[in-house]
Amino acid sequence: MYNCFNKHTYYPHQFHNVPPVPPIPPPIKEIPPVKQDETDVIFEIFGLKIYFDDLLLICILLFLYQEGIQDEYLFIALMLLLLS
């Protein structure tokens, strides 16, 4: 009996000054995906356009090859990423 809490009989003044709930902000509009334009091309040779992500994958492949990493599946996965 002493451990129960009845808000209407024990502390009625506590619940009269409750601040209003702030309004919910409108949802954020989605940003359209960025397309790679001609200005994003870092290097072009023989009609083959190399973007930054392609250059990064090539550098990772060369680094792993020079370090002597023997993980064939890693090389295959990176090559597939480079081709896509």
Residue-range domain boundaries for the chain? 47-84
- Please state the separation of Cα 70 from the chain's center in Å: 30
Tell me which of 70 and 34 has the higher pLDDT: 70
Angle value at C-alpha 81, between 78 and 84, nearest 5 degrees: 155
Give the per-residue pLDDT at 39: 63
Residue 7 pLDDT greater than 60, yes or no: no
Lowest mean pLDDT among 30-39, 42-51, 63-72: 30-39
Distance CA 81, CA 84 (A): 5
Give the per-residue pLDDT at 13: 56
